């Protein structure tokens, strides 16, 4: 099973991924964690460039995310799935659609196609989208990286794009209300996971 977590910066996604992995460990479930960009030596180098470089054009940015993804899918995700391990991804294809495709304006359909090229068409079985209003997310974030300094309007577009994706693929996505307290959000995620694992 392949599960991804998505959300705008400040949605609490990172915290929820950690809490979920703690839960899996306690249950004795074997899993592989990947984060995007990153998770391979090449991917981690790309991550540093992407988060801290001065100037990157939107197209160059997209192609670097995709390069990191292609490497990660081939070297980490596919081998783990072949061993029937659970894979937990902190961001995956939908981040590129929402951030680069929609918010940066490169085109949602184009990014979906390029995602397919990079991943060979691999999609998560389940995607938790943690939804919070932009004001809430902005208030939570203290340390901002390059993409996060884009501001309110940018994040509003990212959120809108995610909400569109949830509507388009209601079977893959589970919308989680990230406005609730951490434990409530965590419990909801576990509940949805267990439902699917059994079903
Ligand atoms: P991430 O490390 O998940 O940051 P955080 O944990 O603070 O949410 O993501 C880093 C940034 O990269 C984030 O602003 C979203 C952005 N991003 C894209 O723009 N496109 C992508 O394809 C991916 C994977 C991430």
How would residue 121 be classed by pLDDT, with cut points 50, 70 and 90? very high
Output the pTM of the full model: 0.95
Domain range holding 128? 2-198
Say what the pLDDT of residue 138 is. 87
Nearest to 193 by CA among 8, 15, 9, 27: 27
pLDDT surpasses 80 at 82: yes
CA-nearest residue for atom 9, ligand 1, is 36
The answer to whether residue 51 scores a pLDDT higher than 90 is no
142 has a pLDDT exceeding 70: no
Ligand 1 within 6 A of 47 CB?
no
Here the CATH number for the domain that contains residue 142 is: 3.40.50.300
Strand pairing report for 126-131 and 173-177: parallel
- 152 has pLDDT over 90: no
Pairing of strands 126-131, 2-6: parallel
Residues 6 or more apart whose Cβ sits within 8 Å of residue 45: none
Look at residue 147 and tell me whether its pLDDT is greater than 70. Answer: no
Of the candidates 80, 66, 74, the one whose C-alpha atom is nearest the C-alpha of residue 31 is 80
Q: Which residues contact 168 (CB under 8 A, 6 or more apart)?
A: none
Question: Residue 198 has what pLDDT?
Answer: 74
Å from CA of 57 to ligand 1 middle: 16
How far is it, in rounded angstroms, from Cα 173 to Cα 165? 8
What is the per-residue pLDDT for 140?
Answer: 82
Q: Is 96 in the pocket of ligand 1 (CB under 6 A)?
A: yes
Q: Whose CA is nearest to atom 8 of ligand 1?
A: 9
The answer, yes or no, to whether any atom of ligand 1 lies below 6 A from the CB of 61, is no
Longest CA–CA span in the chain (Å) reads: 47
Confidence class of residue 54 from pLDDT cuts 50, 70 and 90? confident
The span from the CA of 79 to the CA of 77, in Å, is 6
In angstroms, what is the span from residue 198 Cα to ligand 1's centroid? 31
Q: What is the pLDDT of residue 101?
A: 98
Based on the structure, what is the number of domains in the chain?
Answer: 1
User: How many other C-beta atoms lie within 10 A of the C-beta of residue 31?
Assistant: 16
Residue 148 pLDDT exceeds 80: no
């Amino acid at each position: 099973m392949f599960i991804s977590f998505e959300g705008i910066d400040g949605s609490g996604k990172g915290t929820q991924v950690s809490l979920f992995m703690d839960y899996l460990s306690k249950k004795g479930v074997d899993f592989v964690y990947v984060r995007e960009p990153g998770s391979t030596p090449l991917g981690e180098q790309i991550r540093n460039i992407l988060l801290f470089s001065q100037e990157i054009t939107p197209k160059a940015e997209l192609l670097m995310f995709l390069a990191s993804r292609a490497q990660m899918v081939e070297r980490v995700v596919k081998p783990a799935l072949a061993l029937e391990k659970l894979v937990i991804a902190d961001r995956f294809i939908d981040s590129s659609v929402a951030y680069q495709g929609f918010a940066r304006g490169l085109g949602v359909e184009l990014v979906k196609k390029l995602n397919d090229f990079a991943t060979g068409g691999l999609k998560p079985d389940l995607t938790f989208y943690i939804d919070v209003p932009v004001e809430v997310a902005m208030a939570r974030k203290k340390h901002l990286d390059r993409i996060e300094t884009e501001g309110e309007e940018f994040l509003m577009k990212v959120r809108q794009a995610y909400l569109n994706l949830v509507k388009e693929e209601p079977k893959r996505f589970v919308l989680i209300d990230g406005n609730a307290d951490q434990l409530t959000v965590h419990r909801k995620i576990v509940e949805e996971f267990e439902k699917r694992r059994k079903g």
